[in-house]
Amino acid sequence: MSRRIFLVLGFFSCFLHLAGASDRDASRDYESRPVNDAVKKSETPAKSDVVIRYLDKKVNGLSVAETPHFRILHDQDKKIVETVGKVAESSRVALQKKWFGDVSNDWDGKCSIYLHGSLKDYTGKTGQKNALGHMRTLDWAGMFARSIHVPALESNMATDVLPHEVCHSVMAARFQGKTPRWADEGMALLSESPVRILEFQLLLAKYHKEDALFSLEVLMNTKETEHMDTLEYYAQSLSLVKFLCDKKGNKEFTDFIRTCIQKGYEPALKESYGIQGYGDLERQWQEYAFRAKKKNNE
């Protein structure tokens, strides 16, 4: 397995142990995103039934294609654009069903997907040096405009990067941009391929052995980019989301996140899971994440 592991971030980028590179709310000058289009509420497309319209216009020199919920800006072959359209639409449906039990019409305008060619093109255009993709939400006087940027020619673009970023987009729409970062990244990582998820689980075990993990209270509350832009943060967020989902279910987890946003973590933990604060959560999660390994090593 390659030691190189790219992170696919929600709002900004990192790769391995990067420093900084956070610009969560910054806009990009090359990104002239129109505010919200009046999107006609459409029926959910079946996976193989995505209609892609190729528009007869260019935006910032890029061709434009549209699916019911996404606008794809690109200079790529139609085959790649079709793959992106299908994966984005099918991921949007699958993720909404997985995490909320239904497919919502609550989709605040088309989400733009910028297809950069190679990783070098992506890095050059976006300035994201340590990421393989990112999603950005811009607040236009209370109306959210979302855009996803991916290097179209990377081998795991359709299997890992795009589903990860579409998950961020789904959560941004559902929680009006208030998704806690650890939950956002944990759910997005769970949208990726089993191999990538396994990579992060192996990293978690490594960091645990090195005593390099965060306390869960820090993990859930930190706003520090030097915390959030690390593989430790991602690996641990994935595990915490999985722990809570395994306890009750995926929909119950997003209900919990809604309660967290309204009431704070400790009241929500008690109300949703009967967990008595951060200490109890830490104990239960440690047991879930590492008990089996300890037993095997004894």
Q: Which spans of this chain sit near Zn ion (rule: CB under 5 A)?
A: 9-10, 185, 188
Count of C-beta atoms within a 10 Å radius of residue 229: 24
User: What residue is closest to Zn ion based on CB?
Assistant: 10
Distance CA 168, CA 175 (A): 10
Q: What helix, strand, coil percent values describe the chain, rounded to 5?
A: 50, 15, 35
Q: Which is nearer to Zn ion, 68 or 160 (CB)?
A: 160
Q: Which is nearer to Zn ion, 183 or 275 (CB)?
A: 183
Residue 16 DSSP one-character state? S
Q: Which is nearer to Zn ion, 44 or 176 (CB)?
A: 176
Q: Which is nearer to Zn ion, 200 or 278 (CB)?
A: 200
Report in angstroms how near the CB of residue 290 gets to Zn ion at its nearest: 24
Report in angstroms how near the CB of residue 234 gets to Zn ion at its nearest: 8
Q: Which is nearer to Zn ion, 68 or 151 (CB)?
A: 151
Which of these, 223, 158, 215, 264, lies nearest to 11 by C-alpha position? 223
Q: Which is nearer to Zn ion, 188 or 190 (CB)?
A: 188
Report in angstroms how near the CB of residue 201 gets to Zn ion at its nearest: 17
Identify each DSSP E strand in 82-229 by its residue range.
Answer: 111-116, 131-140, 143-151
Contact yes or no for 149/133 (Cβ under 8 A): yes
Report in angstroms how near the CB of residue 181 gets to Zn ion at its nearest: 9
Q: Give the dihedral sign, CA 123/11/2/152.
A: negative
Contact yes or no for 188/179 (Cβ under 8 A): no
Report in angstroms how near the CB of residue 8 gets to Zn ion at its nearest: 5
Distance CA 82, CA 264 (A): 42
Report in angstroms how near the CB of residue 55 gets to Zn ion at its nearest: 29
